[in-house]
Structure 1
Amino acid sequence: MQTAEIRQRWLDYFASRGHTVVPSASLVSDDPTLLFTVAGMVPFVPYLTGLVPAPYPRATSVQKCIRTNDIEEVGKTPRHGTFFQMNGNFSFGDYFKEQAIAYAWEFLTSAEDEGGLGFDPKDLWVTIYEDDDDAFQYWKQTANLPDERIQRLGKGTNYWSTGQPGPAGPCSEIFFDRGPAYGADGGPATDDDRYVEIWNLVFMEYLRGQGTGKDDFEILGELPKKNIDTGMGLERVAFLKQGVENMYEIDQVRPVLDKAAELSGRRYGANHDDDVRMRVIADHVRSALMLIADGVSVSNEGRGYILRRLLRRTVRAMRLLGVETATFPELFPASRDAMKAAYPEVESDFDRISRIAYGEEETFLRTLASGTSILDLAVADTKTKGAGELPGDTAFLLHDTFGFPIDLTLEMAEEAGLTVNRAEFDRLMADQRARAKADAKTKKTALADLSVYSAFRAKGETVFTGYDLLETDTSVLGLIVNGESVQSAAAGDIAEVILAETSLYAESGGQEADAGSIVGNGFDLEVLDVQRPVKGLVSHRVQVRSGEVGVGAAARTVVDAEWRRGATQAHSGTHLVHAALRQILGPQAHQSGSYNKAGYLRLDFAWNQGLSAETRSEIEEVANNAIREDLEVVTRVLPLDEAKALGAMALFGEKYGDLVRVVDIGGPWSRELCGGTHVRHSSEIGIINLVSESSIGSTSRRIESLVGRDAFRDLATERAIVSELTASLKTPREQLPDRISELLANLKAAEKKIAEYESRQLAGRVPELVASATRVGEVTLVSESVGSLRSTDELRQLVTSVRERLGSDAAVVALAAEVSGKPAVIVATNPAARETGVRAGVLARGAAGVLGGGGGGKDDLAQGGGSDVSAIPAALESVTSNLAA
């Protein structure tokens, strides 16, 4: 049974039993505490917790998920995958435990020709929470399972909660017995790979209190509504139904594994280590494909870093299979073809997906080349010192700074006859993880408690009137101070205000929140920010400028008209620049992110090379031509499918409901899904002035532009600068570039002559310095301060010239100078001096310590510096003392 068929059977089964079929949410989670959607229930959390009223009593979905906490286990077990699909059925205060158990058993054991999965009941085991007698009885009466196949387990295993105070409840898990060939008897309690968990039913019926860990918390009482949250692992069921050994061999994953085997010339099933690597490749390619399809781009932080890690682990695994050339152009099409039946977007958007993936592979292959050079130097240095172990901090530097995998470092060090100080590397990695975990915990704590909004959201959605009005009469539904709901806020307080209606735009879609105020009888509130903490609810962060505001008070929202005008100009300008980009570069130059506020816009787009000055000018001209043509801006609210059929562009990373707002500028010339505020005619934008274009990644670029009045002011400033230059240089404006080039050439020639003169001056000082040489033990020493120099390069040239003139007898040269207001010292030794044991690096470090700084270098040439120019004589004296010692 193909994976796509299992998926469809699930949806059909629950749809026929009154469940609303909900499409999968994006892998990019709305939850600010999560990087990704990590479980099927994540999109339903607001309904399960009561924060937002559920729009339907029961629902079903097949949710795309990403988890990377077990990434090191990928490929080693039959069930660990980074990307996976979770089939879920949910009840929001509708049916409960008995019905959920009945649905699960019926779907699993009904015959295939009846729409079920056809599992044999004798192969299924169940676990329940140890005190859940109701679940035990329901399983007995529904499935007629023998007592020994219903195992009672403790709170740490069979009790669900979010890990924080809130909803909780017992759960029941269903396992498939793969048979004696896979492990010992004893059921799921043996915790053996023989028993594969395929379904988890959570009975959300209690409210838990504070506590730590999975089982150390108090149950405070029952929830007012009991909910059902279940999840069936699609990949796990697929590998069982398809009769293969693990999830990497199912129809949606195996083609990539086979392609990796073909490219490497190695046979899957012949070698355990190679098998693990092929499974890692198959998993990571599919995961990266789905992440990029959902709008994630490669970067060095957050979601982008996870994507980069998956792609680089794939390259590493292919390298360990003996393939050092680019393989993504073979691997990604294989994954696309395996996934397109369930997710058509991976085929329709493959051009963009492949550019991101292939670009990252090219970048990492270059990284591997440079990292290999650094590793070669470290290996040579280790061997020179007679050591057999590469320092752990070197391995960590390669991993952390260059993205060089530790497995590759271990492999290459072993080839060179060295080991790696893995304990030190692991300690440094653990320190880094601890810092990241502490940071993540801080952020989670700051954002996690949204329960304060639930009572306000239960009163309905905040009505936004700002598309048509700048002022709106409304009422205060609630006030929040320091995370607590309060009845009033007085002058000087910072508070959140929840209103029934608002004309103030909440930050979203790249558009910054409106500036403005909220006023009423006896109070005046300055609006600091406007956000949507939960879906459908707008919160206004304010400072009470005067008076006192209370819950229930009548109020008026007032948008700063000048701010809004600038914001609409910038947002509409963003649409024009995006349309111009696609017109000039092609449809592959797709917007991947944006930010706009009054007078300014920033647009990120998929492209892998810098834009020429001519291309930038052309983009700017196309956008400004659209302004001059006074194109009409029309907004419509349409069903999502209808909007897409009209060609409206959906932007990656944005979330859309069933109804969407379509913004047309000049009809289809620019047609995008957008919830932002816009001008009514393009001429109202005024002018667009592109001020920069830069790289933000191997496959992404960023354009920044000033808009409207800010653009005019910037151009006026440039005009004033040009006028000043034409007057100063007595050159017409059109001849300025040639005149400035001429002056720069003259300046460069003059600097060259000055450098030649100074070089001769320095050379002229060599005889005098050689004549100052003294004898210290077995070594001839020149130790002098040479005053002020322009650079340490000049000092180094002087030192080496003096050393050459001292002949072949043991000699040391130590010269100091003031360079840019700071002291510098350089020490050089000749071969004869080094044979006596003299090391330039040791002498330079000693002198630099006297100068209040640090230094070092090689045995033949080293330098140091510091902060105390007056200590130069003492620093040079330290060289003499160290030689005499």
Structure 2
Amino acid sequence: METAEIRRRWLSFFEGTDHTVVPSAPLVYDDPNLLFVNAGMVPFKPYFLGQQSPPWKRATSVQKCVRTLDIEEVGKTTRHGTFFQMNGNFSFGDYFKEGAIRQAWELVTGSQAEGGLGFDPDKVWVTVLGPGLLPHLPDGDEEAAALWREIAGLPDERIQRRGVEDNYWHMGVPGPGGPCSEIYVDRGAEYGPDGGPLVDEERFLEIWNLVFMQEELSAIRSKADFDVTGELPSKNIDTGMGLERVAYLLQGVDNLYEIDEVYPVIERAEQMSGRDYGADHGADVQFRVVADHVRSGLMLMSDGVTPGNEGRGYVLRRLLRRAVRSMRLLGVQDPALTELLPISKDVMKASYPELEADFGRISQIAYAEEEAFRRTLVAGTTILDLAVDKAKERGATTLAGDQAFALHDTYGFPIDLTLEMAAEQGLEVDREGFTTLMTEQRERAKADARAKKSGHASTEVWRDLRDHGPTEFLAYETLTAEASVRGLVVDGARVPALTQGQRGMIVLDRTPFYAESGGQTADEGVIETASGAVLRVRDVQRPVKGLIAHTVEVESGELTEGAGVNAQVDPDWRVQACQAHSGTHVVHAALRQVLGPTALQSGSYNKPGYLRLDFAWNSSLSRETRSEIEEVANLALRQDLPVSAAYMTLPEARAAGALALFGETYDEQVRVVEIGGPWSRELCGGTHVRHSSQVGALTLTGESSVGSGSRRIEALVGMDALRYLARERALVSELSGLVGVRPEQLSDRVGQVLTRLKEAEKEIAAMRQAAVLSDAGALVASAEDVNGVTWLGHDAGPGVGGDDLRRLVTDLRGRLGEERPSVVAAVSAAGDRPVIVIATNAAARERGLKAGQLVKIGAQALGGNGGGKDDLAQGGGQDASQISEALTQIGRALGRA
């Protein structure tokens, strides 16, 4: 049975039992504690925690998930991958244990002909919480055990009791919890010994966990150590079935890498590498890494993640580069993602049809990242070769851990590749030193992550305020509103009042202020009281869903909780913010019109007068293309296109062709903003002008790269655009006056001036070089004999560059001949920064006199360092007053040679 069919049966079964089918949330989810959705219940957490009221009594989903804690372990086992799909059914105060167990048994053992999964009832085992483990549940979960006997007819030997770590569930934070019951399938004697999951979890494979949320927990100390406050007022069900596990059981294969949604990538990798999966364990690990990471990368890019150097982008970059590197270890030197990514798309699109429609953007990002990594491999190989050569020169047999770490951390060069290539040249790598540095880096990252999380002050204060109801959001309707103060917060704690000079946060029962979201910065303005208190609004955020908090500075008076206020948005600020946000939509539509539908927005930021927009594209835009985009955008403004907003369901919006910003999370009801009807139709919660002409002028000010396959375009709108153009005009006028031409002739005249300047620079360089070399004959005559070596040290005076010094010493070396060892050094200073260059002939090198070593002696005397090849080397320093001393030190070194 294909994986997509298992998924379809799951949703169909629960839809038939009155569950609302909830689409999978994006992998990038609105949770500050998560990089990605890592469990099927994550989108339902607000309902289980009581932060929001669930819109349904029953729900079901197949949730996309990514777990990245052990990326290095992927492929080493056959049970764990980064991307997986979790089937779940959920009850919010509706059915409980009996309903969950009855439905699970019916679906698991129901015949395939009637829509079930068709597992043999005699092969099914279950576990429940055992007795004597928790004080409040002295008998364990005998209620669940009795239901399994009653509903499924399971004999007691196939109902096993386990401990709290296995069969009790909570979120790790105060909130709901309860015992759980896990369902296992016996794979047969060839997989291990008999005796149920207590004996062997390879033979007896868990496929489904039913969580019975029945208690309120507090003071969570560990998985098995917590306090129970009491029973929940309404009991909930949260279940999770691993779709991939069920697939490999029903498809008769041994592991998740061999199912229909994964194995085709391995097959293509076999063809490309000429190696067979299953023939060698080391190669098998690489095949599995490729299959897992290509699929995971595909799904992350589908949800709007782009490669980067931190956070989610770094995880994606790491996955794609590990896939490319694994193909290299399999012997494939040519680009691999162009072959593998389309195959993964083809096997996944049955479940996620959006992959087909969006593959142009996804592939563009992936292929650009692979090409960038291939360049990294070339650069890293060069650096590694130099490090290996230096280690061999010292007679070392080990490459230092800090060098391996620098390759990994600075250049993105994988440690496995460093190990492989060093071994090819007869060196080991100091893995212990490398691991120590990696551990230190991870600890710093963890500390930084903890600091960032603590920056989200405890959400308890916001939850308490949210319990009084959501903030009424009036930003679309008005710029002023009468409101009352629901709460005051300073440094994460409630306070009774804010006084003059204090900074804090205010929660109102209703507000006209726009809270920062969707790339639009927050409104500014004032909050005033009848008694004369004035508070300047500096920022507006949504600390928890439904609640709006205003960061304020008290300019005068005092504000107390419960007071009545008048909230006033700065009208000029709002007008300019609307211009910028509508301008962002216009630029996005213009990009797609000029570049094509794959130029999709991947992020944006706008504030009054300014906008920037990141979009999927893998090359810079020409001046002509930028001009065309700007013209299309301004024509749309000139046409005075109507701007409108409407609410509809998410499926209706998608059917209408509305574009969603990748990585954003949307409610079932969404707001669709149109400019000129279908010309620009996007999901958006921002504020906008009413007609496109109200944006005013729009001028592009910059375009740049923000990562592989991603570009950024910047623009000004309204009066900021006009001021920018006025400054440009004034600059052109001034330059035209300076060079004595009309503005339209300025470009040609500047080109002529630059050409003349380059010619003059060449003439000056030639004259300088001639001057430097003119005294070469006299310099040769001044050479000394030091310990059988012809030694020539020369202070070339100020202002001679490194290139000229190199020409000088090589010329002098040639004039001195090859009959006897000779060493030539020349030094010059530009200000206080001296440069030294040394050349040696073959005879000197045979004596062991190497330019790279000698230049370090001179450079150290100058307060710096240097290096290079044995025949020619260069260094620099900080102290030009020590030039004479530097030459003396080199001469002394020759005397000791």
TM range (shorter): over 0.9
CA distance in 1, matches of 2:637, 2:735: 31
Q: Following TM superposition, by how much is the alpha carbon of 1:99 offset from its aligned partner in structure 2, in angstroms?
A: 4.0
8 Å CA contact 1:51, 1:455 repeated in 2:
no
1:65 and 2:29 correspond: no
Q: Judge conservation of contact 1:278–1:317 (CA < 8 Å) in 2.
A: yes
1:338: how far off?
1.6
1:194 maps to 2:200: no
**Is 2:703 the counterpart of 1:693?**
yes
Deviations 1:670-703 (A, max 9, x none): 2222111111111111111111111223322111
Q: Counterpart amino acid of 1:198?
A: I
Match of 2:627 in 1: 617
- Aligned mates of 2:94, 2:530 — CA distance in 1: 45
Residues in 2 aligned to 1:167 and 1:779: alpha-carbon distance in whole angstroms: 85
Once the two structures are TM-superposed, the CA of residue 627 in structure 1 deviates from its matched residue by 1.4
Residue of structure 2 in register with 1:503 after alignment: 512
1:619, distance to aligned residue in structure 2 (A): 0.9
Q: Is the 8 A contact 2:192 2:200 kept in 1?
A: no
Say which of 234, 237, 257 aligns to 1:228.
Answer: 237
Which among 398, 406, 416 is matched to residue 397 of structure 1?
406
Once the two structures are overlaid, the 10-residue window that deviates more, 822-831 or 512-521, is: 822-831
1:337 to 331, 346, 369: 346
Aligned to 1:741: 751
What amino acid does structure 2 have at the position aligned with 1:772?
S
- Distance in 2 separating the partners of 1:228 and 1:739: 77
Change (3 A) 1:330 1:869: closer
For 2:626, give the aligned amino acid. Answer: R
- Judged with a 3 Å threshold, the aligned counterparts in structure 2 of structure 1 residues 833 and 276 are, in CA distance, closer, same or farther, namely closer
Q: Kindly provide the CA deviation profile for residues 733-777 of structure 1, in whole angstroms up to 9, marking residues without a partner as x.
A: 111111111111111111111111111111123334334333333
Residue 662 of structure 1 aligns with which residue?
Answer: 672
What letter corresponds to residue 450 of structure 1 in structure 2?
A: T
1:765 matched residue in structure 2: 775
Q: Say yes or no: does 1:719 pair with 2:719.
A: no
Instruction: Provide the C-alpha distance between the structure 2 equivalents of 1:545 and 1:56, rounded to a whole number of angstroms.
Output: 46
Q: Match of 1:139?
A: 145
Aligned-partner residue type, residue 852 of structure 1: G
Q: Which amino acid aligns with 1:441?
A: R
- Give the superposition deviation at 1:191: 5.7
Matching of residue 774 in structure 1 with residue 778 in structure 2: no
Which position in structure 2 is the counterpart of 1:457?
466
**Equivalence for 1:350:** 359
CA drift of 1:511 comes to 0.8
1:144-223 counterparts in 2 under 5 A?
144-190=153-199, 192-210=201-219, 213-215=222-224, 217-219=226-228, 223=232
Conserved? CA contact 2:457–2:492, under 8 Å: no
Whether 2:475 is the aligned partner of 1:466: answer: yes
**Gap change, CA 1:876 and 1:500, over 3 Å in 2:** same
Partner letter of residue 878 of structure 1? Answer: Q
Larger CA deviation: 699-708 vs 197-206: 197-206
SS at match of 2:501: coil
After superposition, the C-alpha distances for 1:607-649 in whole angstroms (9 at most, x for unaligned) are 2222111111111111111112222212222233333333222
Cα deviation for residue 197 of structure 1 reads 1.8
Give the whole-Å Cα distance in 1 for the aligned partners of 2:215 and 2:191: 37
User: Given that residues 52 and 457 in structure 1 are in contact (C-alpha distance below 8 angstroms), is that contact kept between their aligned partners in structure 2?
Assistant: no
In structure 2, how many angstroms separate the alpha carbons of the residues matched to 1:874 and 1:677?
A: 70
Deviation for aligned residue 1:386? 4.5
- C-alpha separation between the residues in 2 aligned to 1:747 and 1:879? 40
The 10-residue stretch of structure 1 (714-723 or 485-494) with the greater mean CA deviation from structure 2: 485-494
Kept after mapping to 1: 8 A contact 2:525/2:536 = yes
Residues 20 and 60 of structure 1 are in contact (CA less than 8 Å); yes or no, is this contact kept in structure 2? yes
Which letter does structure 2 place at the counterpart of 1:141?
L
Residues in 1 aligned to 2:51 and 2:514: alpha-carbon distance in whole angstroms: 22
Confirm or deny: 8 A CA contact 2:480 2:568 kept in the other structure. yes
Alpha-carbon distance in structure 2 between the residues aligned to 1:252 and 1:448: 42
Within 2, Cα distance between the matches of 1:69 and 1:388?
34
Residues 278-357 of structure 1 mapped to structure 2, 5 A cutoff: 278-357=287-366
Taking structure 1 as reference, are residues 141 and 706 closer, same or farther at Cα in structure 2, changes over 3 Å only?
A: closer
Is 2:85–2:243's contact at 8 Å kept on the other side of the alignment? yes
The one of 812, 824, 845 equivalent to 1:813 is 824
Per-residue displacement from partner, 1:148-168 (whole Å, max 9, x unpaired)?
444444444444343444444
For residues 487 and 93 of structure 1, do their structure 2 counterparts lie closer, same or farther at Cα, with a shift above 3 Å needed?
A: farther
Residue 826 (str. 1) matches residue 841 (str. 2): no
Partner residue of 1:265?
A: 274
Q: How does 1:747-758 map to 2 (within 5 A)?
A: 747-758=757-768
In structure 2, how many angstroms separate the alpha carbons of the residues matched to 1:9 and 1:268? 31
Distance 1:63 1:451 in 2: 28
Residues 838, 239 of structure 1: CA spacing in aligned structure 2 closer, same or farther, 3 A cutoff? same
Alignment-derived partner of residue 837 in structure 1: 848
| Contact kept in structure 2, 1:297 and 1:307, CA below 8 Å | yes
How far does residue 28 in structure 1 lie from its aligned partner after superposition? 0.6
Partner in structure 2 of residue 371 of structure 1? 380
Residue 871 of structure 1: which of 882, 885, 897 is its match? 882
Task: Check whether the contact 2:376–2:411 (CA below 8 A) recurs between aligned residues.
Answer: yes
Q: CA RMSD in A?
A: 2.5
For residue 705 of structure 1, what is the aligned residue in structure 2? 715
Relative to structure 1, is the Cα distance of residues 449 and 22 closer, same or farther in structure 2, using a 3 angstrom cutoff? farther
Identity of aligned residues (%): 59
Match of 1:477 among 486, 506, 511: 486
Paired residue for 1:562?
Answer: 572
TM-score (ref. length: structure 2): 0.93
Tell me how far apart the structure 2 counterparts of residues 836 and 376 of structure 1 sit (CA, whole Å): 26
User: C-alpha distance in 2, partners of 1:867/1:213?
Assistant: 57
8 A contact 1:27–1:294 mirrored in 2: yes
Provide the C-alpha distance between the structure 2 equivalents of 1:583 and 1:549, rounded to a whole number of angstroms.
Answer: 51
Further displaced range: 28-37 or 196-205: 196-205
- For the Cα contact (< 8 Å) 2:129–2:168, is it kept in 1? yes
Q: Distance in 1 between matches of 2:581 and 2:3?
A: 43
Q: What SS does structure 1 have at the residue aligned with 2:31?
A: coil
Could you list the per-position Cα deviations for residues 329-375 of structure 1 after superposition, in whole angstroms to 9, with x for gaps in the alignment?
33222222222221111112222222222332333333334433444
Question: Contact conserved, 1:46 with 1:52, CA < 8 A, in 2?
Answer: yes
Residue 586 of structure 2 aligns with which residue? 576
Greater CA drift, 235-244 or 142-151: 142-151
Tell me if structure 2 keeps the 8 A contact 1:33–1:443: no
1:531 to 541, 555, 560: 541
Question: How far is the alpha carbon of 1:792 from its aligned partner?
Answer: 2.4
Paired residues of 1:62 and 1:85 also in contact (CA < 8 A): yes
Distance in 1 between the 2:474 and 2:108 partners? Answer: 49
- Give the distance between the partners of 1:604 and 1:339, measured in 2 at CA: 27
1:646 matches 2:652: no
Q: In the alignment, does 2:529 pair up with 1:520?
A: yes
Q: Matched residue of 1:37: which SS?
A: coil
CA gap of 1:171–1:138, structure 2 versus 1, over 3 A, is closer
- Give the unaligned 5+ runs of structure 1: none
1:423-471 per-position Cα deviation (integer Å, ceiling 9, x unaligned): 3333332232222222222223333732322232233332221112111
Deviation at 1:265, TM superposition (A): 3.4
| 1:70–1:80 CA contact under 8 A, matched in 2 | no
Matched, 1:440 2:449: yes
- 1:216 Cα offset (Å): 5.0
How big is the shift at 1:66?
A: 0.7
CA contact (8 A) 1:139 1:145 kept: no
Shift of 1:416: 3.8
Q: Normalised by the size of structure 1, how large is the TM-score?
A: 0.94
CA distance in 2, matches of 1:389, 1:213: 43
Q: Which moved more, 1:201-210 or 1:789-798?
A: 201-210
1:236-255 maps to which residues of 2 (within 5 A)?
Answer: 236-255=245-264
Q: Distance in 1 between matches of 2:170 and 2:572?
A: 48
Any stretches of 5+ residues in structure 2 without a counterpart?
Answer: none
Shift of 1:48: 1.3
Contact 2:177 2:214 in 1 (8 A): yes
Deviation at 1:844, TM superposition (A): 2.7
